[in-house]
A and B are shown apart, each in its own frame.
Chain A
Amino acid sequence: MSGSSNIVAMKKIVQQLRFEANINRVKVSQAAAELQQFCIQNALQDPLLTGVSSSTNPFRTQKVCSFL
């Protein structure tokens, strides 16, 4: 009994490996260039990267104390 369920499990593994082995891939040089391109294109819209000033970053705004 356990023999046949092992075979079923192995068949699934082999099927999955066949699927993964056959996918289309691109060269790392091309993929890396595109990751870099995305970073550069979006750099100015990244507040943590550019360092947004106190006046525009709600978390950096100084709290105002008021006497009640």
Chain B
Amino acid sequence: MEMAAQPSDTLATLKTESETLKTKLEEERAKLHDVELHQVAEKTEALGQFIMKTRRTLKGHGNKVLCLDWCKDKRRIVSSSQDGKVIVWDAFTTNKEHAVTMPCTWVMACAYAPSGCAVACGGLDNKCSVYPLSLDKNENLAAKKKSVAMHTNYLSACCFTNSDMQILTSSGDGTCALWDVESGQMLQSFHGHAADVLCLDLAPSETGNTFVSGGCDKKSCVWDMRTGQCVQSFETHESDINSVRYYPSGDAFASGSDDATCRLYDLRADREVAIYSKESIIFGASSVDFSLSGRLLFGGYNDYTINVWDVLKGTRVSILFGHENRVSTLRISPDGTAFCSGSWDHTLRVWA
């Protein structure tokens, strides 16, 4: 009799303790909330008019563009599509340099290796595969394909760490993982999200071994890559988090969500410090990225537009039209001279 009563008591006690700790966490965060970011930024000079136009349109995908990544050479771009194709472009000339046909449709993730010699991609096949890029245009890239990551649901995002040797992945199975490319071995796994993980971003190398992830559980988590521990988590969005990106200093990150807002979280203050939203923006933000100084935040939205935000003042400085369907992916070039957006309209656009 006594033994049967204990398990439910312990569960209740733990639940109470968890509620108490959540309240304590909020109180600790609130104590330090002495000012808003935009108030601190009041004395900063306002930004002038921005004239950004589409400078290149990359056409060639047969269906929705889902993901893109720049090569470190600042001119090549890899993109992946619902049509199962992964294309490497020279963004200066708009020429296609390589094309790979994946065995699955909905290739939701792609990434360029730091060396520029390989690309990684995956999606509904639940895997992340690496394709070395050959200088011989006639060579069949699929022949040299290397399967690296295996998840139990779709691959939502992938990125190489600081070398071609390791890849970080996030998945619809609710986990993230770190893999050794050569052996295909899982080096670390990251558990904590309560639903599909949709996005991830690696901290700038100076900041150390952490990365941030966002998911369908409306939570963003910062992880220690060595221990697998979640070191900070934030739950202020009201819907799925589609994109996360570190502020260039590594001290903060932005997220874009289906709740039509982008938000900025400061890691040292351990809280949300800005919300980028307007009553007129009612469609989800699918992808976000910062300009080099961190002053501008570019957001691609499901209403086909790109909104440019003044990160410090919290105001919108520009709205860019051009895509004819949802903007699904957006990345600044490595030297910050341009940014590229990919859309459900099958095209990529380079803006400057």
Contacts and interface: CB of A to CB of B under 8 A. Distances in A.
Interface of A: 3-4, 6-7, 10-11, 13-14, 16-21, 23, 25-36, 38-43, 45-49, 51-52, 57-60
A41 to B, nearest CB: 8
A27 B352 CA distance: 36
B352 A59 contact: yes
B332 to A, nearest CB: 7
A32 B37 contact: yes
B52 to A, nearest CB: 7
A39 B25 CA distance: 29
Interface size class of chain B, counting residues whose CB lies under 8 Å from the partner chain: 35 or more
B221 to A, nearest CB: 10
A28 B292 contact: no
A38 B248 contact: yes
Given A4-B7, A57-B338, A35 B14 contact: no
Given A23-B270, A25-B32, A58-B337, A6 B11 contact: yes
Contacts of A17: 18, 21-22, 25
4 residue pairs, one from A and one from B, having the closest CB atoms: A42-B293, A46-B293, A17-B21, A31-B269
B30 to A, nearest CB: 10
Contacts of B40: 29, 32-33, 36
Given A42-B292, A48-B291, A35 B337 contact: no
Interface of B: 7-8, 10-11, 14-15, 17-18, 21-22, 24-25, 28-29, 32-37, 40-41, 44, 47, 50-52, 55-56, 74-75, 91-92, 192, 229-233, 247-249, 251-252, 266, 268-271, 273, 291-296, 311-312, 332, 335-339, 350, 352
A7 B18 CA distance: 12
A32 B221 CA distance: 21
B337 A13 contact: no
Given A17-B18, A17-B22, A58-B337, A48 B29 contact: no
B339 A48 contact: yes
A47 B335 CA distance: 8
A2 to B, nearest CB: 10
Contacts of A60: 55, 352
Given A25-B271, A34-B251, 11 more contacts: A11-B14, A20-B231, A21-B21, A25-B269, A26-B268, A32-B41, A46-B293, A48-B336, A49-B291, A51-B50, A60-B55
A58 B92 contact: yes
A36 B296 contact: no
B11 A45 contact: no
Nearest to B16: A14
A35 B55 contact: no
A28 B37 CA distance: 8
A35 B294 CA distance: 8
A7 B10 contact: yes
A7 B41 CA distance: 47
A21 B335 CA distance: 38
B63 to A, nearest CB: 26
A49 B252 contact: no
